[in-house]
Amino acid sequence: MHRNLSLVRLLFSSPAAASLLSPHCSLPFLLRSLSSNPHPPPSAPRRRLLPSSVSPSLSPLLKEDAIATLSSLWISSFRNPSSTITSLSDHLTRPELWILSYQKVYADETGSYLPKSSISHTALDDILVLRNAVLDGRFRWGARLEFFIRSPRDKTDLSSLSKRKIRALLTNPQPSPFQDRIVQEVLLFLLEPVFEARFSQKSYAFRPGRTAHTVVRTIRRSFAGYLWYLKGDLSTILDGVKPGLVLSALIREVRDRKIVDLIKSALVTPVVTGNPAEDEAKKKKKKRKYQKKRVLAEDEPKPDPYWLQSFFGFAPAEADKYPNWGHCGVLSPLLANICLDELDKWMEGKIKDFYKPSKADVIWTGEEGDIEQGNTSWPEFVPTSGPDKTRKMDYIRFGGHILVGVRGPRADAAELRKQLIQFCDHRFQLKLDNESVPIEHITKGIMFLDHVLCRRVVYPTLRYTATGGKIISEKGVGTLLSVTASLKQCIKQFRKLEFLKGDRDPDPQPCFRMFHATQAHTNAQMNKFLSTMVEWYRYADNRKKVVNFCSYIIRGSLAKLYAAKYKLRSRAKVYKIGARNLQRPLKDKKGQSPEYNELMRMGLVDSIEGLQYTRMSLVPETDYTPFPSRWKPDHENFLLEYIKLEDRKTLDEQRKCIREEGLITPQEYVSMLVWNYKKNAVMLPPLGENDAQKAKEELLGLTHDSENRIGDDDVSGHILQAAQM
């Protein structure tokens, strides 16, 4: 998430990004401007200059626009998604991509954005040296002592280190080097647009524009009516696979040797890891001492606030694991999706083979199964299965977890599970069994992303008009797919964060981590946490219930904390002084003083933000916004629309349609006015609301003697239509 936010900030902070999104800027113009700028020559021996100075030979590097380069790569990838890529390493020579990658890694390292104009000459020189080392094959992943470019926070003098410190540096686990992360970002810039145009629409994790909310909305939209569900846990693939499997999946689309060799060396190069047993022994031997509060340096990023750490603790099991293969770093999630995309394509083929429509069905009757006759997200009737019902299945994948819905007998689901186990064993060398891919009935409830899918029987009232115009109302019976948040899972996560104890009767525990914070700061932190919880359960049917429960736990936890902090003995005493939402000050019992309201009105005391959602009526309703059947993220829709408008056939089709409908474009109407004015030197009167017939007569009279006259009927229809426009 931090990577996407930082990248968006970098992309749209450039002035060229605004010009690219402008409707007056065309892609050919951007490409001509990029191709007209030659690549800079290799850098000369480095000179140590002041950070604000830039060498004249390197100044052209700051004028190159990486946004335009990446945009052209995205557009070309989506224009020809089936073509094999053979010249991707040509982009490695472009210095603007390396500068953008440096800005991104610099922002992640220091927590502050570095404008392109503020990059020092030394840093630019080092960036070019790193680029040349990658192109020449001199770059090595995981280097500890030899760096082409170093982190701005790394002030260590390697020449003055002792042998003991050098040995510890080489044998102990260390974070990924700064130069490795720059190379990883450049490879991600190049590979992501290539594979995003080729990935299946059934995968959602580790992809831009697709989140867990998208999965929940897709399930609500497309999984109604399924009786049997298969849940598969393939998350062991995210822990690591054989490099040969990754490279074989990569080579199918990218035939660039330089790119493939870089990724192969990142996967094969061993990573220095510590011994878990020794680490645990050191922790036990280390005595707990009083630790002073550490002051952060100016260029050191601040840690995540407490509310954000708490929310990260609520991550569901499907989103809890993040792949990190070898020295690939941020490239690992993309490589994982590249490997699992073969499974997605295989399942898409199974969906087409499994589909068998039935004329007696009321929902799916088309030949392909993607066109429904009713609304499956909130239907009155969603038949599940039977001999006269359509056999259908659907599939979705989030990271290493899959969910398959089957509309048919259980034997079909068992046969599909058998084929799935054989496919994973053959392609990924992944040993699965029936327990790892269970078949569950919809009536038992299926847990996915901490949301429970279940079938709810509804009895809608059907109203129809009988013979003679009489309106008849009858009670019907139907099933409804319910997507609810798991309250049991919510209690489990709160217990893990030490906010409560107990299962049947949860009892809030004091949040002692906020003991030294002020009441205003503590309330503000917990309000941010509750706001994120409200957004997380946005599409759950029981949104009000689960958010109100979260508010109860947080409010009780803070009440116990304040009771211990201000020596008020009980929660009831805290609520009496601080009100139900803990808005009044508890220190020295100021909330009970009669002068407090007057001082608040005069603005002489600081206000304390009360806790939100203390009542169920304050919690927003569930979002039931309709979800499109063939949904795509906004950036893909923009790219496809841009490619369509750039195609000459689109304009020809629009003109043909206008001609067939007997319409006239505003441009043609204006040209006719100008031509008649030039020919006859007579200006037509302005059109009023009821002057369509008058304009028709005027234009017909002026064009009556023209040599290139057209038929009266055509002109009459065109002019009348234009006048009405």
In this predicted model, what pLDDT tens digit does every residue of 142-159 receive, in sequence order?
988 889 999 988 888 888
| pLDDT at site 464 | 74
Q: Please tell me the distance from the alpha carbon of residue 448 to that of residue 450, in angstroms, as a whole number.
A: 5
Q: State whether residue 592 is helix, strand or coil.
A: helix
Q: Is 10 exposed, middle or buried (0-12, 13-18, 19+ CB in 10 A)?
A: buried
Is residue 14's pLDDT more than 70? Answer: no
Residue 479: which H helix or E strand, with range?
Answer: strand 478-485
Higher pLDDT, 529 or 702: 529
| pLDDT at site 182 | 96
Q: pLDDT, tens digit, for every residue of 447-469? A: 999 999 998 877 777 777 877 77
pLDDT tier at 370 (50, 70, 90 boundaries)?
low
CA-nearest of 593, 567, 233, 636 to 400 is: 233
What tokens does 41 get? 């020559």
Q: Please tell me the distance from the alpha carbon of residue 40 to that of residue 55, in angstroms, as a whole number.
A: 12
Higher pLDDT, 382 or 245: 245
Strand partners, 500: 508
| Whole-number Cα distances in Å, 42 to 60, 62, 125 | 13, 15, 9
Q: Please tell me the distance from the alpha carbon of residue 166 to that of residue 661, in angstroms, as a whole number.
A: 80
Q: Please tell me the distance from the alpha carbon of residue 61 to that of residue 117, in angstroms, as a whole number.
A: 10
Q: State whether residue 292 is helix, strand or coil.
A: coil
Which residues have a Cβ under 8 Å from the Cβ of 139 and sit 6 or more positions away?
Answer: 130, 133, 148, 179, 183
| pLDDT at site 439 | 95
Quick one: how far is CA 528 from the chain centroid?
A: 21
Residue 95: which H helix or E strand, with range?
Answer: helix 95-110
Q: What is the DSSP string of 313-344?
A: TT--GGGS-----TT-GGGHHHHHHHHHHHHH
| pLDDT at site 684 | 52
Is residue 299's pLDDT more than 80? Answer: no
Q: pLDDT, tens digit, for every residue of 152-188? A: 888 888 888 888 888 888 888 888 999 999 999 999 9
Q: pLDDT, tens digit, for every residue of 549-565? A: 999 999 999 999 999 99
What separation, in Å, do the N-terminal and C-terminal C-alpha atoms of the chain show?
49
Mean pLDDT for all residues in the chain: 80
DSSP symbol at 368: S
HSE-up (13 A, CA, CB side) for residue 450: 25
Quick one: how far is CA 495 from the chain centroid?
A: 29
